[in-house]
Amino acid sequence: MREVRISIYFMWEWWEKYFHCMFKRPEKACDDSLEWMYLMRKKFLFENFGEFGVGEERPVMDGRYVNMVLKWGMDFIPYVLGAKLTCQDVGGYAAEKMDIETIKALKPVNVADSPAGEWIIKRKEELIKRYGSADQGMDLEGPTNIAVRIRGEDFYIDLIEDKGLARHILDVVTETIISGYLFLGKQFKMDELLIADCNVTLISPSLYEEIILDYDIKVANISKVVTGREKAVRLHHCDVPVDKYIYAYKKVPEVYKIEASYTSDIAMVLREMPDACFSAMINPLELMGESFDVIEQRIDRALEEGAKELDIWNIDPSIDVSKLRKIFSIIQRCCERNNCRALFDCMPFCWDELEWAFPRYQHQLGHV
């Protein structure tokens, strides 16, 4: 029987409302506190979703998640490039967009020679000492996502009105991302290389093909060196339909997984990209706005067409435990109808929590 992984990720606010109403957030930002939270949350997940095979009745410390080298959230590359970061009350780090003169003068940075590289090695050693292993959780996003983070939404205008500037930004960002992946590949065992194209969904497929595709290809070309494996690129299109981009995406080499909305024409995607599997993302807005019947039909269709995974990421407090239990049973039913077994995998943390990316903890750690 085919197994379908159901990946579940809750936002900070969800944990705040349903978990921290019972257990206060740690006073002190440290590895002990993170371990405490990890064990308590595995138990909480078991108590609420145990019937779906989620969580642990008697949680054990297996070092997962807590052994992760992780900092600067989605702004690791902007930070390396010199962007000013602030830590928001909710939602972790945010890069301030750079002014145009700074952007014009930007040059690629080699992550291995940067203070960020030094910090990564130091943290890795600390974690190996404590857990016997260290995983890497650094987020390098992809050329377009990073371009938008440092240039802001003006980047979309640049793509049309000042292609030279857009290409300069992409050149600098791409070379820095590549240096980052090569560095991480030397320091850690990496199973995949992510290219996150969330912002591509706001660019037309033809403009993507004209300008950005080459940069995604450059990053994809190093995946074998970084991971030591063939076909290790995870191409993330975010939770919107991917159909119109496929004729361009199929030119990106080494892709083993494509992540996009479960409303995409998955059968067509798999025909066009036969080496890739499809990870079907369910936008949490759908869970709020659509009826259970519609959601069930769409999940059924996604599985029928060959989706290998379902992802429900960024669940916020409007989806409470009972509603989520209902959604889990719908998924289970759809899996049974399609002759597969649902393997629910709920992440017990959100990324901001793993790196203590809240102002009061950041002050405590001396990071701001």
CA dist., res. 194 & res. 220, Å (int) = 9
Query: By C-beta, is 98 or 198 nearer to Zn ion?
Result: 198
Q: Phi/psi class of residue 241: alpha, beta or left (left: φ > 0; alpha: ψ in -120 to 50)?
A: beta
Query: By C-beta, is 34 or 193 nearer to Zn ion?
Result: 193
- Least distance between Zn ion and beta carbon 240 (Å): 9
- Least distance between Zn ion and beta carbon 238 (Å): 3
- Least distance between Zn ion and beta carbon 196 (Å): 6
Give the count of beta carbons closer than 10 Å to the beta carbon of residue 241.
16
Q: How many CA atoms lie within 13 A of 178 on its CB side?
A: 17
Q: Phi/psi class of residue 151: alpha, beta or left (left: φ > 0; alpha: ψ in -120 to 50)?
A: alpha
Query: By C-beta, is 198 or 211 nearer to Zn ion?
Result: 198
- Least distance between Zn ion and beta carbon 236 (Å): 5
H/E stretch holding 211:
none
Query: By C-beta, is 190 or 238 nearer to Zn ion?
Result: 238
Query: By C-beta, is 3 or 153 nearer to Zn ion?
Result: 153
- Least distance between Zn ion and beta carbon 350 (Å): 15
Residue 282 Cα distances to 8, 17, 73, angstroms? 10, 22, 22
- Residue 209 has what DSSP assignment? I
Three-class SS state of 308: coil
The distance of Cα 305 from the centroid of its chain, to the nearest Å, equals 24
Instruction: Let me know how long the chain is.
Output: 368
CA dist., res. 21 & res. 300, Å (int) = 35
Q: How many CA atoms lie within 13 A of 138 on its CB side?
A: 29
Give the count of beta carbons closer than 10 Å to the beta carbon of residue 10.
27
CA dist., res. 113 & res. 271, Å (int) = 43
- Least distance between Zn ion and beta carbon 199 (Å): 8
- Least distance between Zn ion and beta carbon 123 (Å): 25
Three-class SS state of 95: strand
- Least distance between Zn ion and beta carbon 83 (Å): 20
Query: By C-beta, is 59 or 91 nearer to Zn ion?
Result: 91
Query: By C-beta, is 34 or 195 nearer to Zn ion?
Result: 195
H/E stretch holding 79:
helix 76-80
157, 151 in Cβ contact below 8 A?
no
CA dist., res. 308 & res. 28, Å (int) = 40
Query: By C-beta, is 127 or 200 nearer to Zn ion?
Result: 200
- Least distance between Zn ion and beta carbon 258 (Å): 12
Q: Which residue bears the tokens 């990324």?
A: 351
Query: By C-beta, is 54 or 198 nearer to Zn ion?
Result: 198
- Least distance between Zn ion and beta carbon 169 (Å): 20
**What pairing do the DSSP bridges indicate for beta strands 309-315 and 277-281?**
parallel
Query: By C-beta, is 66 or 148 nearer to Zn ion?
Result: 148
CA dist., res. 368 & res. 359, Å (int) = 8
Footprint on this chain of Zn ion (rule: CB under 5 A): 198, 238
